[in-house]
Amino acid sequence: MAAPAAPAAGETGPDARLEAALADVPELARLLEIDPYLKPFAADFQRRYKKFSQVLHDIGENEGGIDKFSRGYESFGIHRCSDGGIYCKEWAPGAEGVFLTGEFSGWNPFSHPYKKLEYGKWELYIPPKQNKSPLIPHGSKLKVVITSKSGEILYRISPWAKYVVRENNNVNYDWIHWAPEDPYKFKHSRPKKPRSLRIYESHVGISSHEGKIASYKHFTSNVLPRIKDLGYNCIQLMAIMEHAYYASFGYQITSFFAASSRYGTPEELKELVDTAHSMGIVVLLDVVHSHASKNSEDGLNMFDGTDSCYFHSGPRGTHDLWDSRLFIYSSWEVLRFLLSNIRWWLEEYCFDGFRFDGVTSMLYHHHGMGQGFSGDYNEYFGLQVDEDALIYLMLANHLAHTLYPDSITIAEDVSGMPALCSPTSQGGGGFDYRLAMAIPDKWIQLLKEFKDEDWNMGNIVYTLTNRRYLEKCVAYAESHDQALVGDKTLAFWLMDAEMYTNMSVLAPFTPVIDRGIQLHKMIRLITHGLGGEGYLNFMGNEFGHPEWLDFPRKGNNESYHYARRQFNLTDDDLLRYKFLNNFDRDMNRLEERCGWLSAPQAYVSEKHEANKTITFERAGLLFIFNFHPSKSYTDYRVGTATPGKYPFLCQCMCLLRCNI
């Protein structure tokens, strides 16, 4: 269909503005067809798309395209040249002088000065030794020395550092030049994008039942086989980008290009990803581009001696709730840094995509603080939207999907911004999925505030089905958020202290354990079947992990007792945890067989308040749930769209249609 003609000069009415927007945004008509209520905001989509297109055009004009622009890690930082020399480059617009020091120079701070270039860039070439070997060997410690305009001498880690470590009881991290002679070579190709996305949210450090920081190698050998057996086809790895404070759960990043050294080396992380690929499992990185740690000596903050550089200057550059720094997404070099970071993890470590953390904070100038989102469309447009951040997210999604069409991107957005998961060609954000963040809150609210007999079936169904048409959601009953100390997992809400005393198969079922196990299964299956187009579980929650998650900190005497996952409980045949674990596995395997996550949204035929039943159909399956605390039903009659015999598949219950 031909694009509509541009409005004549002087035409400024609503119809003219709509026509202009349709002319500028290639597939906006499709978005407005899906949701006509967005028509009054067509000019907003037009402005966003034109700005996105303009930035892409400017990158092409000035940098030779986004492909070259996103390779910043190939020149910035330090690199071994073919002649054995070392090339160094930094962006420090507020610096008076830049130097490289380290073990190679006996820590002489001024022996190797950088040359000042245009646009705040600095470069240094260090010739090789006489035998053509590099002056800076693999594993050598380094620092960038900044002399500020106020005369301070500052020791910094390069923002592009690829490996940093904290030794012994040191407060700060050390920058290690990582250039092994025999880098890891990937053996297995990337799996194809799963038809149905079943995500196992994972944290390497807590993956052992022992009270310690587990390693990449431990995860590869011990946890990957469990994930495969459970039927998950995707892993979301948390806390990989280096963070100085372990208890931040990986959300206070200090070195964006460095894989966390507390779990092992970069080569060991590559082996983990490669091994997952060999099992047909895709691996997503939990990427944090919404903010950065305030650390200066081993972080980005004050890198060049100013409070700006990578961040907004003044109050706008600080997140009041997180006590962290906020990127200035309109900055050319910040765009280079963040887009190169996206490409780095995709290409160097072969990740298959990203879960973007803190997207709500990025999208709005108010960062979502003190804001309730009612669903009124006016909340998603206007001056409260940080369009620079939104354009960055569009660019990041465009880059990821251009480089690797099968890559997967997920937005952690609580606001529900329309079109965030629509293609950029429609003026959307370009994400593949968003997290259905209202669902776990609903389950916690029901368990915390209501008796079983007072659960509202219609309200449960509304929460599980309340998502935008054709914008995919990842549903989950609980994630890492509900596992943290100060909150309770579903298993803890359901069974609490009896998990410590009555989970033995040698003891009779108590009413609390019986109810807890059955509701745990039902909550997971109805969330899996009705809540979205993807499903997520946090490691250990599948078997009702009996303890909360709490990282070592002063408040718990630096204990690792709760910073672990007790997988050993599922291996003990005398404990009932194995029944929850097996149910989770059977649920995922049934989805793999029937594909309800990739099927159209379910048709809900019954939500009976008196009987406490919910019935729906999806992907040729008839799901019937009885949430009544005391009544069972025989010969229960429900309507179906298609006649036939429906063999029973699992308790809760789920029936597969077999036409005869």
Question: How far apart are the C-alpha atoms of 225 and 200, rounded to whole Å?
Answer: 12
Tokens of 219: 């995860």
Degrees, nearest 5: CA angle 597-603-609: 115
Q: Which segments of 450-539 does DSSP mark as H helices, in order?
A: 457-465, 480-483, 490-495, 511-530
Question: How far apart are the C-alpha atoms of 129 and 135, rounded to whole Å?
Answer: 6
Of residues 298, 305, 312, the one with CA closest to residue 95: 305
Alpha carbon separation from 640 to 622, 652, 656 (Å, rounded): 8, 17, 12
Question: How far apart are the C-alpha atoms of 616 and 529, rounded to whole Å?
Answer: 9
The one-letter amino acid code at 284 reads L
Show which residues are catalytic: 357, 412
Of residues 399, 329, 313, 332, the one with CA closest to residue 361: 329
Q: What residues does 522 pair with on adjacent strands? A: none
Question: How far apart are the C-alpha atoms of 164 and 170, rounded to whole Å?
Answer: 13
Contact by Cβ (8 Å): 443, 523: yes
Of residues 195, 247, 234, 182, the one with CA closest to residue 486: 247
Backbone torsions φ then ψ of 51, nearest 5 degrees: -70, -40
Q: List b or e across 166-204, with b for residues whose CB sees 16 or more CB atoms inside 10 angstroms.
A: eeeeeebbbbbbbbeeeebeeeeebbebbebbbbbbbbb
* Cα 15–chain centre separation: 40
Radius of gyration for the chain, computed over Cα atoms and rounded to the nearest angstrom:
27
Coil, helix or strand at residue 572: coil
Q: Which segments of 266-331 does DSSP mark as H helices, in order?
A: 266-278
Contact by Cβ (8 Å): 317, 308: yes
Contact by Cβ (8 Å): 592, 621: no
Q: What residues does 242 pair with on adjacent strands? A: 255
Contact by Cβ (8 Å): 330, 261: no
Question: How far apart are the C-alpha atoms of 401 and 408, rounded to whole Å?
Answer: 8
Of residues 482, 433, 481, the one with CA closest to residue 198: 433
Burial class (CB in 10 A: 0-12, 13-18, 19+), 17: middle
Question: How far apart are the C-alpha atoms of 151 and 96, rounded to whole Å?
Answer: 8
Tokens of 474: 């990842």
Coil, helix or strand at residue 330: coil
Q: Residue 152: which residues within 8 A CB-CB, separation 6 or more?
A: 146, 305
